[in-house]
Structure 1
């Protein structure tokens, strides 16, 4: 009994010492972590002495102190605490505190600071109403001075006076107009402007050379250069990277070249180049990767070449190249993969029309979707038409017409769906239509008509449905249609008329025997079988 009485207290004592040691060890570990955090406590952003902060929004942040054991300043007291922070900020030139915030988090945003101003700031960490640590003082400078609001220049003296304000940013619209007295002739006083937060409108001026925007990087609104009858040259936009609205270049009838936008990366709405009647070339948009609207190049009477959209991959609206009598070469769209985003834009599709001298369509081999119509028509000298190897979907009409030298059409063998009608008409040299081997659905009509020398149509052997009429009309040389092996639905009528050499109707047998259609009109062909006669045809 005596031995048991003495051993029990000894076991309890050892157990107690072990527990206390563990608690002390845990406490020391937490204290060590907290001490390490105090040693590394610092401001983080903005970096000390930075001079390019946007005054509209300056994010401030600093390192975090975790909850733990802390030794209080000026005492030996160690306590468990969750730190909080006080942020102080002041203008360096006045030293008057303009911000004092108490926070539980390690970040804060300064909204609406003054431009071209140096600020200093620090953070004090607290716990249990006692100071844990105080950061060093850092400083940053906001972006240069901003002119607030809109501004209009109609005289040169107004432009010169503006330069004395040492502005780098215009906070609204910049408009340059004409004046009979002291007209604007030199925009070099605007060369230090880097950012315009509204529109830039240069309209109906007497400028002959548009220069003076050599440091401009960003236009938040539209860039409109229009109706400047004396303008021959555009210079000084070589650093422009982003246009937040429409880029509109029109009615500048002495402008010869357009090659000053080599750093432009994105246009957030339409890009329109139209009715510049002396413009001969469009070049050097090689950094442009996206147009969030339409890309329209139209009715520039002397335009001969388009080249320089080699980095362009996305056009959310329509790509239109139309109305040029001298245009012979279009290159530089080889990286476009989407034309006409269904979600973001209404006017969609690819239209190359009314270009009398254009002989070759650029290859769009990366395009997989066209969100609207595909129209190539009235290009009298078009004779080479390739590409579109990866095109899968056309959500509108497919139309090739009035291209009098075109002899063949690309197969487009990955195309699966046409959301509108399929139409090939009025192509006087077109001899064959082949391909479309994966096309399954046409949600409009199928029309091949008025192709004077067309002899053979083949392919289309996976086509299952045509939602409207199936039409072969006035193809006077047509002898062979080897297609439609799986066609089962024609939502309208079958119309095969005025194809004087067509002597076989096996292409309709599968449809007539196994499918449905809403009417049948066959006459003025070499043979004109009835529905029952087609059912009895012996076909390979």
Structure 2
């Protein structure tokens, strides 16, 4: 019995040991699996870290710097100006920026370069003479740090007609006039300006060295000379854009310009000794206008007898001895204002009899001996104002009889003016101002205007008689 019990106990112990072994074995397996998972996770983290480190490593993405350029050929006319732009040498890089430098050039000193932009400029202008050099060569380095490329440069020089001066020139002394004249130019593509320096020690006195000039593409301007007396030397000039003769105190004779053709405008101002404008007799039209002012020795407008039209205005002003405008007898159209003012010896406007169109104003002011304005009788309307002011000898305005429509009628300070019969045909005026006319006592010339529903401004006072609109409508228009 005892032996059987011992056997049973032994069997139970064996079963227990087996169970414990299974449990322990299962725990080991679990721990192994956990360890495997931990090891795998650690490997993943390490791999990720390694990959990240690899990306941050500059050696793994090192950029190779490259520079690009190309050979270039440029073309330039001979006789350029100093620092004139020739062209640009190409240069690029894939990282940062490039700089440019000249490696060689033949002849030496022909060009310079902007180190940042690659722009080439003329250096020594004397090199660019076709008769001496037909081309210029060189090499330019384009670099970024230690990396560089070369560009071969060829500059071809064009031969130009050397009796043509390209551009404009201003000559300010006799020395400059003579030096320029040595070139024997036939044409100047721009302006020719003769403008003396103030208080010059070498004033312009002689233009004979310019006698080869025939054409000026821009303006001929003769300004402020102090001793020049004639324009001899300019005899061959045939064409100019504008002719300006301004403030020349001793110029008497401009006949050297006889037959000159002017396309745009003429301005002859403040030349106290000029006596004739006959040089302009071939001109029929002007794109711009005419200004004749301050020429105290001028007695007529001889030279404008063939002028038919202007694109802008006509100004005849402050010419002390001008006594007629007969030579404007061909003028039919003025594209701007007609201003005849400050001519104390002008007697009448005969010569303007063919004038039909004025696009802007008509101003007659400070012509103290102007007796009549009958030369304007063919004007019917214009887009501006009619001003007659300080014309002391004017007794009537009969020359305005053709007018039917203007913007404003203004009559001031005409001491001898007695009636307004000359505006009897006016039917449309925006404003009327008639003031300080000591002898004016007859306003009946305004009756037609007032009867056409006049609604503009009306200023009438300080005349010998000063009727209201109502007075004129009621036939109380004269004293």
TM-score, normalized by the shorter chain, greater than 0.5: yes
1:365 and 2:305 aligned: yes
Structure 1 CA distance, aligned partners of 2:133 and 2:222? 27
Aligned residue pairs total: 337
2:411 matched residue in structure 1: 472
SS, match of residue 435 in structure 1: helix
1:423 and 2:363 aligned: yes
- CA 1:232/1:314 → structure 2, altered by over 3 Å: closer, same or farther? closer
User: Deviations 1:11-35 (Å, cap 9, x if unpaired)?
Assistant: xxxxxxxxxxxxxxxxxxxxxxxxx
2:166 matched residue in structure 1: 220
2:218 matched residue in structure 1: 269
1:508 and 2:446 aligned: yes
Q: Report 1:342-491 matches (<5 A).
A: 348-467=288-407, 469-491=408-430
SS, match of residue 495 in structure 1: strand
Q: CA deviation at 1:535?
A: 3.6
User: Deviations 1:122-168 (Å, cap 9, x if unpaired)?
Assistant: xxxxxxxxxxxxxxxxxxxxxxxx8453379xxxxxxxx979x7949
* More displaced stretch, 392-401 vs 228-237: 228-237
2:231 matched residue in structure 1: 282
Match of 1:255 among 177, 182, 204: 204
Q: Please say if residues 301 and 328 of structure 2, whose CA atoms lie closer than 8 Å, have aligned partners that are also in contact.
A: no
Q: TM-score, with normalisation over the residues of structure 1? A: 0.55
Q: Report 1:180-219 matches (<5 A).
A: 217-219=163-165
Q: CA deviation at 1:508?
A: 1.8
By percentage of residues, which structure has more helix? 2
SS, match of residue 449 in structure 2: helix
SS, match of residue 281 in structure 2: coil
Match of 1:324 among 244, 267, 271: 271
1:521 and 2:459 aligned: yes
Structure 2 CA distance, aligned partners of 1:338 and 1:375? 15
Q: CA deviation at 1:264?
A: 4.0
2:243 matched residue in structure 1: 295
- CA 1:238/1:167 → structure 2, altered by over 3 Å: closer, same or farther? closer
Q: Please say if residues 324 and 350 of structure 2, whose CA atoms lie closer than 8 Å, have aligned partners that are also in contact.
A: no
Structure 1 CA distance, aligned partners of 2:347 and 2:470? 36
- CA 1:535/1:264 → structure 2, altered by over 3 Å: closer, same or farther? farther
Q: CA deviation at 1:531?
A: 2.2
1:305 matched residue in structure 2: 253
2:80 matched residue in structure 1: 149
Question: What is the CA RMSD across the aligned residues, in angstroms?
Answer: 3.7
Q: CA deviation at 1:414?
A: 2.2
Structure 2 CA distance, aligned partners of 1:313 and 1:516? 47
Q: Answer 1 or 2: higher relative contact order, Cα 8 Å, separation at least 6.
A: 2
What are the ranges of 5 or more consecutive residues in structure 1 without an aligned counterpart? 1-111, 116-145, 153-160, 172-194, 198-215, 342-347
Q: CA deviation at 1:235?
A: 8.6
Structure 2 CA distance, aligned partners of 1:147 and 1:366? 43
Q: Please say if residues 234 and 257 of structure 2, whose CA atoms lie closer than 8 Å, have aligned partners that are also in contact.
A: yes
Q: CA deviation at 1:517?
A: 4.9
What are the ranges of 5 or more consecutive residues in structure 2 without an aligned counterpart? 1-72, 84-124, 136-158
1:531 and 2:478 aligned: no
Q: Please say if residues 403 and 425 of structure 2, whose CA atoms lie closer than 8 Å, have aligned partners that are also in contact.
A: yes
Q: Please say if residues 185 and 212 of structure 2, whose CA atoms lie closer than 8 Å, have aligned partners that are also in contact.
A: yes
1:315 matched residue in structure 2: 263
Q: Please say if residues 280 and 304 of structure 2, whose CA atoms lie closer than 8 Å, have aligned partners that are also in contact.
A: yes
Structure 2 CA distance, aligned partners of 1:308 and 1:445? 39
Q: Please say if residues 397 and 419 of structure 1, whose CA atoms lie closer than 8 Å, have aligned partners that are also in contact.
A: yes
Q: Please say if residues 284 and 309 of structure 1, whose CA atoms lie closer than 8 Å, have aligned partners that are also in contact.
A: no
Q: Report 1:99-178 matches (<5 A).
A: 147=78, 149-150=80-81, 167=131
Q: CA deviation at 1:381?
A: 2.5
Q: CA deviation at 1:222?
A: 1.4
SS, match of residue 384 in structure 1: coil
1:51 matched residue in structure 2: none
SS, match of residue 424 in structure 1: strand
